[in-house]
């Protein structure tokens, strides 16, 4: 613990932590130490873990990196935190992220941007940017992020780490601040596949507090790690041929396709003609859900409250105007618009239909293939400030990660070494629903 506290201190300039839990981490460490001496410790005994600042931990502040929740103390723990603690992990602090997890660069945080440890002038990706940097700079052993449309995988990719988005319904969302509830999933960011497997094993599985969690039994992921078989892999042709794809990422992926073939996997190019519909469908559906989820922040129930309002309506308006940042407001407006009477059929309902088509298309592909391969992001980490002027540029960068978010499939970002300037490159594999065991075993053999 002292080592990680020192690492955090040495890397303060990266702004990865919104708060370090000095006191509760020490207390937990003492408890775990005793258990280890008695031989009664849990599966994660001594693992030092950071959590994204949108995951509730009883009696600790949780803000979603928003002024709206600045100083808000959670009255209960999320299921994921409960499960970490039950297995004797030590939670070291809460990590910076985009405001309400809306963003792909960690620049929308009320608490400021996070620097990539490779070069602090570059973004770490987002929205779980603090989580990725904390693991990258060894400020904790592993971190939890949340992934709605890529927020675990893309920052992991930008920071050279492993990011796993489990199947929708694998891990409980209870106590995780909602962005878009039919997409949100908690996922680990780690530097090894072993750690990802161990964490998933502890976090996954049914929960009385979240009815969307599957009751399927949880495999022993760590025990399956060495059981990887030869896979049939579909490469989504349009993603590799995409003009937006950085040439160095493309070259690294093509090289790794050759290596996969040499290892005896069957790799084939398949066409995926729905690529252009992914980002529009994702942003219509997620902003719709967000506008509804964020209606609870009204200045009365939670968080920031304006003190000068003369009427209830004014209280709502001023509290929300002051509490939310620009990106969050943009999405609430967009989501309210696509749900409004008269536009609902044209946007929201249409996007739901597109989501169904995407899901069906992937199900058909998975009848013939075990895994789907694509890039994670079109570019490596970019400069802080570069993409913030134009929200559409930022949204379009989600093109490859939102596919499994729309379909609910599990997906992993794996590091592919660095480019010539030392920036991490990455590759994405998508698996069948609830086949994280296969995905992790394959990843283990791949790295
Ligand atoms: N960049 C995407 C968005 O802004 C993904 C965010 C996320 O997964 N939380 O919606």
Give the atom of ligand 1 at the shortest distance from the alpha carbon of 146.
Answer: 9
The fraction of the chain above a pLDDT of 90, given in percent, is: 98
Tell which wins on pLDDT, 301 or 429.
429
For ligand 1, mutation pick of 148, 184, 403 (most atoms within 8 Å of CB): 148
Question: Which phi and psi (to 5°) does residue 251 adopt?
Answer: -60, -45
Give the CA count within 13 Å in the CB-facing half-sphere of 153: 33
What are the boundaries of each domain within the chain? 1-278+372-447, 280-345
Q: Is the CB of 175 under 6 A from ligand 1?
A: no
The fraction of the chain above a pLDDT of 70, given in percent, is: 100
**pLDDT attached to residue 70:** 93
Q: Is the CB of 286 under 6 A from ligand 1?
A: yes
Residues, the chain: 447
Q: Is the CB of 50 under 6 A from ligand 1?
A: no
Q: What is the pLDDT of residues 32-80, one digit of tens each?
A: 999 999 999 999 999 999 999 999 999 999 999 999 999 999 999 999 9
- Cα dist. 71→17, 59, 93 in Å? 15, 11, 15
Ligand 1 center from residue 331 Cα (angstroms): 11
Ligand 1 center from residue 237 Cα (angstroms): 24
Give the atom of ligand 1 at the shortest distance from the alpha carbon of 150.
Answer: 8
Give the atom of ligand 1 at the shortest distance from the alpha carbon of 104.
Answer: 1
Q: Is the CB of 158 under 6 A from ligand 1?
A: no
- Which of the residues are catalytic? 52, 127, 151
Q: What is the pLDDT of residues 244-256, one digit of tens each?
A: 999 999 999 999 9
Taking the C-alpha atoms of residue 322 and residue 298, their distance in angstroms, rounded to an integer, is: 11
CATH code for the domain defined by 1-278+372-447: 3.90.1300.10
Look up the ipTM and state it: 0.98
Q: Is the CB of 127 under 6 A from ligand 1?
A: yes
Please say if the pLDDT value at position 401 is more than 90.
yes
């Amino acid at each position: 613990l002292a080592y990680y506290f020192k690492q955090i201190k040495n890397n303060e300039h990266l702004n990865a932590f919104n708060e370090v839990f000095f006191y509760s981490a020490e207390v937990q460490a003492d408890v775990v130490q005793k258990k280890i001496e008695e031989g009664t410790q849990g599966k994660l005994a001594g693992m030092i873990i950071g959590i994204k600042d949108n995951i509730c931990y009883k009696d600790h502040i949780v803000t979603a990196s928003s002024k709206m929740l600045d100083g808000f103390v959670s009255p209960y723990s999320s299921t994921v935190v409960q499960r970490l603690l039950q297995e004797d992990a030590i939670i070291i602090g809460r990590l910076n992220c985009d405001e309400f997890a809306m963003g792909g660069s960690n620049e929308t945080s009320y608490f400021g941007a996070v620097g990539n440890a490779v070069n602090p002038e570059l973004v770490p990706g987002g929205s779980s940017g603090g989580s990725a940097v904390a693991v990258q700079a060894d400020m904790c052993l592993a971190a939890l992020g949340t992934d709605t449309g890529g927020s675990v995988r893309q920052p992991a990719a930008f920071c050279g780490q492993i990011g796993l988005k489990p199947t929708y319904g694998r891990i409980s969302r209870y106590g995780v601040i909602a962005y878009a509830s039919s997409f949100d999933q908690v996922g680990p960011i780690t530097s090894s596949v072993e750690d990802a497997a161990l964490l998933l094993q502890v976090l996954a599985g049914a929960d009385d507090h979240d009815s969307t969690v599957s009751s399927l039994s949880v495999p022993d992921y760590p025990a399956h790690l060495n059981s990887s078989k030869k896979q049939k892999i579909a490469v989504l042709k349009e993603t590799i041929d995409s003009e937006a794809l950085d040439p160095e990422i493309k070259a690294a992926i093509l090289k790794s396709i050759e290596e996969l073939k040499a290892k005896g996997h069957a790799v084939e190019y398949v066409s995926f003609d729905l690529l252009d519909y992914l980002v529009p469908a994702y942003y219509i559906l997620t902003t719709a859900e967000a506008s509804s989820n964020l209606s609870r922040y009204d200045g009365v129930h939670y968080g920031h409250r304006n003190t000068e309002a003369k009427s209830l309506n004014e209280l709502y308006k001023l509290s929300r105007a002051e509490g939310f940042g620009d990106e969050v407001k943009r999405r609430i407006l967009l989501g309210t618009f696509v749900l409004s009477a008269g536009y609902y059929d044209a946007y929201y309902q249409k996007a739901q239909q597109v989501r169904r088509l995407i899901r069906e298309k992937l199900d058909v592909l998975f009848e013939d293939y075990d895994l789907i391969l694509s890039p994670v992001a079109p570019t490596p980490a970019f400069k802080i400030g570069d993409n913030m002027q134009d929200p559409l540029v930022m949204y379009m960068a989600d093109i490859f990660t939102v596919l499994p978010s729309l379909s609910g499939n599990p997906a992993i970002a794996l590091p592919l070494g660095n480019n010539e300037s030392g920036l991490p490159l990455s590759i994405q594999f998508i698996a069948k629903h609830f086949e994280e065991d296969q995905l992790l075993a394959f990843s283990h053999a791949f790295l």
